[in-house]
Each structure stands twice: as C-alpha cells, then as structure tokens.
Structure 1
Amino acid sequence: MTVVVVTGGTRGIGQGLVRSFARLGADVAYCGRHVTEAPDGILAVTADVTVREDVRKLWDATVDRFGRVDIWVNNAGLSTSRRPLWELPPAEIDAVVGVNLGGTLQASAVVLEAMLAQGHGALWNMEGLGSTGQIVAGLTPYGATKRGLTYATLAMAKELKGTPVKACLLSPGMVVTDLLTRDYEPAELENAKKIFTILADRVETVTPWLAERVLKGTRNGGRVAWLTNRKAAYRFATAAFHNRDPFS
C-alpha cells in the first residue's frame, strides 16, 4: 500500500483528502493542532507544522505505524480576515505567513531530508489564490504566501533534480469551505456567489479526483490542477445552460 501523510487534515480540503486517500486503499496519517480520535486504520497526530520537531514527530509516528512515507501533502493553511492590509493586526498577518509559507518551508525541509535518506518520496504543496498571479483585494497576506509557495516548490524541484525524490504542486481550485466565504457581508456574499456558483466545487467533488491524481504521480516540479483555465472558460461559456449550486 502507498503511505500518505496530509497536514491540516482535520477539516476542509485536508479532511477530504484524508478520506479520499483511505477510500483509494492508501495507508493514511494526518495532523492538526487539535486532533480527535481518527477513523479505524488512519493515524492522527497532534502537530504544529511550523515546528520542525512536531513535523519529525509526525514523520516518525507514520514510519513506526506504516513502515515508510511515500507521499506527503503540505495542506495546512490559514487565511486572514477579508480586510485591507493596514487594518489587519500584526499577529494575524504573522500567523498566516507563519503557517502558509513558513510552515510549508519548515515541514518541507524535514520531509525532503527524510525522503532522500529513505531513497524515495513525493512532496506535494497546496496552491491557492495568488499562486498563478490572481490578485484579490482583502487577501493580501494569503495571496502573497501562496505566490511564494509556488516559487518555493519549483525551487525545491530544481534542488531535487537527479534524486529519487520529487516536489510537486497540487491546485484544488475554488472549493466551498469556510475560507472561501469568510467575512463577506450578506450583500457582498450574494454578489460573490454569482462567481462561486460557476467556478466553485464541493470538497467531496474535488478531493477524490485530487487524491487519485496524486497517487498516480507526476514529474518532479509538476502540477496537478482541478480548475484549469480551459475548464473555467468552459464553465463561464456554458453557465446559462447549467444550474450549478455548490452550496446546496
């Protein structure tokens, strides 16, 4: 069996990935800052991805349970309130940058060293708004971290060239979670939903597809993306003929 670790697996996309990998027959471990008892056969570990010792604890617990780690998905992430940068408290900015970018870098450093030592592995980093240049007012810190994460992953891939370890990008697109709808006023949310109903998808729609593609693998530095430009263009062109409601 393939052994998969998902960080931030307690809710949202991370939780969906954990369940999807398990349904596809993988041995799965996940972490969160606050975890409850995991389903049968799944390993849950309390860990903070910004702390290298916690990441090593998660790696070691997975190896102790399943013998190795084949795939690691850095999914853990936060978003600030949807407000202009100058209105955000310093602690909120620090938390988002610390987890989304700092945590991914710290975890990746631990994981890549361990994968190189064991002689194989694939590290996947989760993209998001900003990764491919999208700019949205009110989400400056979040978008900046995701933009930086894409660069970091491609740089890791370059550093891994010629080794049996890969660094790859996973792009879920627009998914209906609390991060998507956070801090909208009711009228603003109704306007935003005009786009969401065209482009957004439910966790249970996206994560099985992502999990299957991750298990199949891709080249070092490759990207697996659910919402491609072509798919988005098709949805806009045919929106009048479809009654999509990802919120139902």
Structure 2
Amino acid sequence: MLDNKIAIVTGAGSGIGRASSLKMAGYGAKIVAVDFNEASGQETVRLIQEQGGEAIFVQADVSNSDDVQRYVNAAVDSYGRIDIFFNNAGVVQKFSKLADTDENEFDRVINVNVRGVFLGMKYVLKVMEKQGSGAIINTASTAGVKSEHSASAYSASKHAVVGLTKGAAIEYVKQGIRVNGICPGGVETALTKGVEQAFMSGGYVPEEVGNMRMGRYAKPDELAEMVSFLASDRASYMTGSIVLVDGGLTL
C-alpha cells in the first residue's frame, strides 16, 4: 500500500507515532522517525528494522525552526523526497481552569502543538510542492472539535491544528498535495496515562472519562491504520478532512 514511500513521523518515539511508524513501515514505507527523546526514537527505529523495514532517526524539538529544517533536510538527503508527513508530535497541558493556567504552561502547549505543526508543514510543503505530490496527516484531537473542561490551552491548540489543516488543504489542493487531520479520543498511550487522575485532582471528571462509549480506549494500532489509509492512494480524493477516530466520544 505504501511501497517505497518516504514518510516523516514526528513524535515517533511512542504512542500513535510509534504505532504509525511501524504500521507504515509494514506497508512498505521508509520512515524518518523524529522525536525529542533520542532513546525512544532510536527504539522505534530498532523495532522497524527488526520487522524488516527501513528507518532513520532524527532528534528534534518540533517547535524549533532549525530542528525542523534539519529533519526535513535529513529526509531529502537520505531518500531524495518526502511522500508522507505524519505531523503528530504534541503535549497535553496541566489541567486547570483558564484563569489558573500558568502563562508559561500556555506557551509550552501552543509552541509544541501549534507552532510545531505549523513549522513542520511550512518546510515539508516546500519539498512536496516541488515534487507536485504528497500527503500530510496532522494529529488534532476530539478537543479540536469540542472543548474539554480544565484544558482550554490544549483545546485551543487542537482547534488551531484543525484550522491549519483546512487552510493548507485549500492552498495546496492544486499542487497535488493532500492535507488531512485525525481527531483521536481516548487512546492507550503514555501521553494520556494519568489524565483521569489529573481530572480527579482538579475536582472535575467529565462523564466520558473512565466510561468511553465503546467501553474502552483505542489502541494506538487502530489510529495507525487510519493514518496509513490517509497516507495512501486509497484516500486520493480526501483533503481537508478532519477524521474523528474516537469510538463515538463526540456523539
């Protein structure tokens, strides 16, 4: 499905990023695994190679322009092109009411979740535009379509990802580039562990926490299948789509 495609994955060291890296490699893609944590990113590369795939690792802070250009250049220098960009790296906020949210915490969330997505697309799109082709998948969240209690900064950041996705889709649709977004709900990842406890300590627990509509959280592999689909030619008529992969959470 993705034979010999070149895919950059940010946040590749864990969770949805790792699962998607492994899944796309299994479908034949060559992976440029990007993560801030070198040990976990290298582990993803090892797992890909263990299953017979090909991958390289680039350590990067996605909110840093120089680091972003470095991982883009590494992909082009190593493989000559970028066919797929899974713009996935993100952070959650320390849960608190808006007026109690620390300004530095707000900046941290926006820098990674919004600036990181923006910078990634900015430099990858330059490569894809020259090629005349490419598929970008941005990770938003159900918090990008509905707000979450005690998570205004996070919700704002993921609403921004939705806006960036739709804006880029319109601007580059004539250049053969597709830009779509996914909105996961609860997923079994290290990032979301402790979320329920954090809500409890804040004195408010949304009714869906601990009682997902399907009775369980998603497995990262389930999100990886959607990412692989959107990255492939099977999704050739999809751009600007914001795909809910949330087990009915937003119904």
The TM-score with structure 2 as length reference comes to 0.82
Is the 2:214–2:247 contact (alpha carbons within 8 Å) kept by the matching residues of 1? no
Q: Which residue, 35, 38, 48 being the options, matches 2:38?
A: 35
Given residue 245 of structure 2, which amino acid in structure 1 is its aligned partner?
A: W
Match for residue 163 of structure 2? Answer: 151
Whole-Å Cα distance in 2 between the matches of residues 195 and 50 of structure 1?
32
Q: Pick from 129, 137, 143 the counterpart of residue 130 of structure 1.
A: 143
Q: 2:197, 2:184 → 1: CA distance?
A: 25
Distance (Å, rounded) in 1 between the aligned partners of 2:170 and 2:226: 27
Does 73-82 or 170-179 show the bigger shift? 170-179
Q: Does residue 1:217 correspond to 2:229, yes or no?
A: no
Q: Shift of the alpha carbon at 1:226?
A: 2.6
Q: Deviations over 1:62-88 (max 9, x none)?
A: 122222110101101011112222333
2:210 aligns to what? 193
Task: Point out the more displaced range, 143-152 or 168-177.
Answer: 168-177
Shift of 1:152: 1.5
Q: Quick one: distance in 2 between partners of 1:153 and 1:61?
A: 24
Equivalent residue for 1:117? 130
* Structure 1 match to 2:94: 81
- Classify 1:82/1:197 alpha carbon distance in 2 versus 1 (closer, same or farther; 3 Å): farther
Q: Is the 8 A contact 1:7 1:74 kept in 2?
A: yes
Q: Report the CA distance between 1:168 and its aligned residue.
A: 1.5
Structure 1's 115 and 190: CA in aligned 2 closer, same or farther, altered over 3 A? closer
The equivalent residue for 2:23 is: 20
Return the alpha-carbon distance in structure 2 between the equivalents of residues 123 and 101 of structure 1: 15
SS of alignment partner, residue 212 of structure 2: helix
Q: CA deviation at 1:209?
A: 4.1
With 176-185 and 122-131 compared, the bigger mean Cα shift is at 176-185
Per the alignment, residue 62 of structure 2 pairs with: 49
Identity %, equivalent residues:
23
Displacement after TM superposition at 1:232 (Å): 7.0
Distance 1:129 1:200 in 2: 13
RMSD, aligned CA: 2.5
* Partner AA of 1:20 in structure 2: K
- Answer whether contact 1:52 1:110 (CA < 8 A) is retained: no
Contact 1:24 1:212 (8 Å CA) reproduced: no
* TM-aligned CA distance change 1:208 to 1:157, over 3 Å: closer
Structure 2 unpaired stretches of 5+: none
Pair 1:161 & 2:161 matched: no
The CA deviation at 1:146 is 0.6
Using the TM superposition, give the Cα deviation of residue 195 of structure 1 relative to its aligned residue in structure 2, in angstroms. Answer: 2.7
Match of 1:203 in 2: 220
Runs of 5+ consecutive residues of structure 1 not aligned to the other structure: 234-248
Is it true that 1:98 corresponds to 2:115 in the alignment?
Answer: no
Q: Distance in 1 between matches of 2:78 and 2:187?
A: 32
Secondary structure (helix, strand or coil) at the match of 2:188 reads coil
1:185/1:19 Cα in 2 relative to 1: closer, same or farther (>3 Å)?
same
Distance 2:13 2:213 in 1: 24
Aligned residues: 231
> 2:180 & 2:199 partners in 1: Cα distance?
38
Higher relative contact order (CA 8 A, sep 6+): 2
Distance in 2 (alpha carbons) for counterparts of 1:89 and 1:166: 36
For the residues of structure 2 that align with 1:213 and 1:106, how far apart are their CA atoms? Answer: 21
